[in-house]
Structure 1
Amino acid sequence: MPVPIRSGTPKKPSEMMRLFMTTFIGIIFGFFLGISFPTLSLSKMNLPSGLFPSIDLTYIEDKYSGLSKQALFNAWSSLKGNKEASPLLPRYNETEIWVPTNPRGAERLPPGIVASESDFYLRRLWGLPSEDLTIQPRYLVTFTVGYDQKKNIDAAVKKFSENFTIVLFHYDGRTTEWDEFEWSKRTVHISAHKQTKWWYAKRFLHPDIVAPYDYIFLWDEDLGVEHFDAEKYIKLVRKHGLEISQPGLDPDRGTTWAMTKRRDGIEVHKDTEERPGWCTDPHLPPCAAFVEIMATVFSRDAWRCVWHMIQNDLVHGWGLDFAMRKCVEPAHEKIGVVDAQWIIHQGVPSLGSQGQAQKGKAPWEGVRERCRKEWTMFQDRMTNAEKVYYKAMEMDPPNSTAR
């Protein structure tokens, strides 16, 4: 039979390997030769237009101008099986966008996504977020409550318009029972057994949480509000430039400081006369720059300072009323009592009933004893902190800081 004749001569395996190696070495040599020369602009080369009749060289250059030598080197490293990225190019999970204005801990976030403040606005579970609120309350009022005072709180809450966010701090653990009141469904309820107003304030009223509110009311549960209107109160506070204030107290009900007693025929007062020897300076507490802690109202800026002054372990707040003046300047002009909107302190001993009998003492006795101890502890901490500061600054402390 005839033998088929094939064109060409079959290459031996050794010749095929030699051809492959020659081609591979040529590619590698060309690669390194290319990255060894400066970048050449194709659009600036005087190439004949007929050579590339349908190719826009400028487009090619723009499209691939981002391929730097470093990127090519990185690609070559990957080809070699080097899994460790070049130190000159950060890995994705090591990217850090650091901006001095970012809050602490948010340095890895772009500033535009940082939401450093919050609020107590209740949100829906449906619809668009921008449509959740028909009105954004400008003021915040909190009451520390037990269910036994429900009638009193019901009357008080109704004195505050829809411009106020209402927050109830429940020290007796009873929250759902308040749903008998229609307003309760629009109220924020926070519950922790046997805690005080200042314990709640330190943990739930951080300045960045209450930042949207112009004024923050921190009130007790035993306040009669028959002669009080919240909107009128705000107007008077703004008119007289008060950063820290309280309504006047009925002088015929309960024991109170002379400074906080209501005066007839005036809108606001900012100083008083106390018993002889009680005031070392007419601009200092308890003759001026002073309100009590039962029904205090703070501006946003004043609260930011006072919150930092509240000690985490001192829960009764005794002594704060003498020290809050440090948060506004001049204190004797920006702290005052609103006489035209006044309240009655009913003196309900709710905190005493939350105590525990020990060593033959009634529950209220242990609570009152701790109140007095905390007052002394707070004064000592403030005095020592100022001494340490002035010593570090090599300054003599002013007389006005000593008490």
Structure 2
Amino acid sequence: MEWDEEFQWSKEAVHFSARKQTKWWFAKRFLHPSIMAPYDYVFLWDEDLGVDNFTAEAYIDIVKKHGLEISQPGLDATKGHKAYDVSVKRNSGDMHKTAGGKQCPDVHQRPCSGFMEVMAPVFSRDAWRCVWHMIQNDLVHGWGLDFNFWRCVDDPEEQFGIVDAQYVVHHGVPTLRDQGNGEKQGSRAKVKDRQYEEMHAFDSRMDNADKELANSTARSSSQP
């Protein structure tokens, strides 16, 4: 293991590798809430993050200080990729919770607040217990989860936060999508297609679950 020479903890850790799989596939199968119960936080990060300006201990101190249940480090958009304005690192303060500007005319709508990307989320123990149950066994990419993380806390606008003082760079290296060639199932185009298909499937399942819950609640309230 190449990390053993650089990191002392690597020799004591269990390393797991599965070709052509994703972190959500791994999390659903190996990070059950009962297994993660001894840990205060779960870091579920992509593999293409630059961490030269990140220290986990300092990050956790800020998360605890502000009572964040789901968080992520700010993104240095000058050196890497960004998908949402709310995730971009700011130069004032420890952290922020909202975004403004043209992308966010209504600060109370996701992804302008109460939102965390699937790229580098950090979950508290309680939040992870909920998120783990939302992960679908057959949907390995996790697309769509980020717009539903809010379901796992009491007050998303207050308990979600982007930590600016400890930030990362998202290099945007498509590791999985570069496996295979254009004619095979593992090609970049086909993997991208599957990501969107999974997102639509996940959204449909969540919509159906919401409708079922609403109908069940209506039936219960109508009973004498």
Deviation at 1:256, TM superposition (A): 2.1
2:91 to 256, 264, 273: 264
Contact 1:356 1:366 in 2 (8 A): no
Which residue pairs with 2:26 in the alignment? 200
- Consecutive unaligned residues in structure 2, runs of 5 or more: 220-224
Contact 1:274 1:286 in 2 (8 A): no
Kindly provide the CA deviation profile for residues 65-111 of structure 1, in whole angstroms up to 9, marking residues without a partner as x.
xxxxxxxxxxxxxxxxxxxxxxxxxxxxxxxxxxxxxxxxxxxxxxx
Check if 1:327 corresponds to 2:149: no
Check if 1:342 corresponds to 2:157: no
1:300 to 86, 106, 125: 125
Kindly provide the CA deviation profile for residues 348-377 of structure 1, in whole angstroms up to 9, marking residues without a partner as x.
110112355437x98111111111111111
| AA aligned opposite 1:387 | K
Cα gap change, 1:355 to 1:275, in 2 (>3 Å): farther
Cα gap change, 1:292 to 1:266, in 2 (>3 Å): same
Which residue pairs with 1:233 in the alignment? 59
Which protein shows a greater Rg? 1
| AA aligned opposite 1:358 | E
Which residue pairs with 2:143 in the alignment? 318
Tell me the TM-score normalised to structure 2 length: 0.90
The alignment-based identity, stated in percent, is: 54
Q: Which runs of 4+ in 1 moved over 6 A?
A: none
1:214 to 18, 29, 40: 40
Contact 1:284 1:332 in 2 (8 A): no
Which residue pairs with 2:111 in the alignment? 286
Contact 1:247 1:342 in 2 (8 A): yes
Aligned partner of residue 342 in structure 1, secondary structure: strand
Which residue pairs with 2:74 in the alignment? 248
Q: Which has the higher contact order (CA 8 A, sep 6+)?
A: 2
Contact 1:248 1:341 in 2 (8 A): yes
Aligned partner of residue 218 in structure 2, secondary structure: coil
Which residue pairs with 2:222 in the alignment? none
Which residue pairs with 2:195 in the alignment? 371
Cα gap change, 1:316 to 1:331, in 2 (>3 Å): same
Quote the Cα distance in structure 2 between the aligned partners of 1:355 and 1:320.
26
**Where do residues 4-403 of structure 1 align in structure 2 (5 Å cutoff)?**
176=1, 178-183=3-8, 184-252=10-78, 253-273=80-100, 275=102, 282-355=107-180, 357-358=182-183, 363-394=187-218
CA RMSD of aligned residues (A): 2.0
Contact 2:131 2:149 in 1 (8 A): yes
> Which segment is superposed worse, 180-189 or 378-387?
180-189
Deviation at 1:224, TM superposition (A): 0.9
Quote the Cα distance in structure 2 between the aligned partners of 1:189 and 1:295.
19
Aligned partner of residue 26 in structure 2, secondary structure: helix
Quote the Cα distance in structure 2 between the aligned partners of 1:226 and 1:286.
27
Contact 1:246 1:291 in 2 (8 A): yes
Tell me the TM-score normalised to structure 1 length: 0.51
Cα gap change, 1:181 to 1:332, in 2 (>3 Å): same
Deviation at 1:285, TM superposition (A): 1.0
Aligned partner of residue 146 in structure 2, secondary structure: helix
Residues paired across the two proteins, number: 217
Deviation at 1:274, TM superposition (A): 5.0
Contact 1:273 1:287 in 2 (8 A): yes
